Amino acid sequence: MVNHEVFEKFQCILTGVDASENAQKAFKYAVTRAYQEGAKLIICTILEIDEMNVYEVMDENYMAQQRKKLLHQLKEYQQYAEAHGVKEIELMSEEGDPAEKIIKVILPNTQADLLVIGSRANHGIQGYFGTSASYMAKHSPISVMIIK
């Protein structure tokens, strides 16, 4: 029999979201876990400039539209988490490579003690087992839960 009192509850859970199926599963897991443990939930997403062509990146109107769309999506994730009982939620976004930005920029600016991510992202070479996930697992200073 497992003694559940040995395991500490997480205080702050960070989850990265994108449109991929695994990221959606990871987000829902993070919401459930945050609710069950009364933890703060930080939802982050990254605007992937590498996926855009140079003309898109240089077009201020296009970039403003993309940032606005990203913020709208984050608000929808926040509403879902609130509807599922999470009390404390923070939204964060960055631009660039998702794995690097989460590990090097977002994570150091939080008190997160658990990172929940999907095994495959919605970018890069499709079919590779999460290059981003393996990078984050290897370089994260906190526990990482990878959801398939």
Please indicate, yes or no, whether the overall pTM of this predicted structure exceeds 0.75: yes
Alpha helices (runs of H) in the chain, residue ranges in sequence order:
21-37, 54-58, 60-83, 98-101, 131-139
Can you give the residue range of the structural domain that contains 88?
4-14+36-125+139-147
> What CATH number is associated with residue 44?
3.40.50.620
Asked whether 46 and 101 are in contact (CB, 8 A), the reply is: yes
3-class SS at 7?
coil
> What is the number of domains present in the chain?
1
- Taking every pair of Cα atoms in the chain, the longest distance, rounded to a whole number of angstroms, is 60
Residue 24 lies in a domain: no
Residue 87 lies in a domain: yes
pLDDT in tens, the chain (148 residues): 555 555 678 999 999 998 889 999 999 999 999 999 999 999 999 998 878 888 888 889 998 999 999 999 999 999 999 999 999 999 999 999 989 999 999 999 999 999 999 987 554 444 444 578 889 999 999 999 999 8
